[in-house]
Amino acid sequence: MQTTDRLTGWCVIAMNRMRVAGIALCVGLLFSSKVSAQRKASPTVQDRQREQHSLAFNLVAAINAAEASSKKKTGAYATWEMLYSSGEFTSTGTKWAPESMPTVRNAMYGPGPEIVPGWKLRLTISKDAKAYSLLLEDANDPKCRYAVVSDETGLLRQSRSIDCPL
């Protein structure tokens, strides 16, 4: 009988240890999944930078579309002041951005030079209004001065100061 009691005691101890190990495993899995979810939820500096660059590219594409429309209607490219005052870009947004880009479509545009918060526009129209060049520069990047550049060809380029990688 003593052997049976000892065996039963060892079984109870083993079962308790298994329960504790199982509970510890469950707690560990819950904690690791919560930490993993927090990591996914908080954007990195690179994610924010990618979003900002996407905003700039889509904003320049919208300006290019508005310029192409101006050229088609009037035979001349428009200054930012003309685009803004004609309602092409307003404090409630623009029709020139795709619906898939609500940050550009619904942006609060201003008269400039900072046409949307954090982005400065330099739009130069040729004397005959048959050509233009534009530079949209990140106002919050004094070191690298990231910018998106375009012209009447519609080609978009990105640039930074020479000491900063693209």
For 103-147, what is each residue's pLDDT tens digit?
A: 999 999 999 899 999 999 999 999 999 999 999 999 999 999 999
Does 23 map to a domain? yes
pTM exceeding the 0.75 threshold for the entire prediction: no
Does 86 map to a domain? yes
Distance CA 152, CA 47 (A): 30
* Residue 99 amino acid letter: E
Does 129 map to a domain? yes
Cα within 13 Å of Cα(32), Cβ side: 6
104 and 147 in a common domain: yes
81 and 7 in a common domain: no
Does 90 map to a domain? yes
Does 121 map to a domain? yes
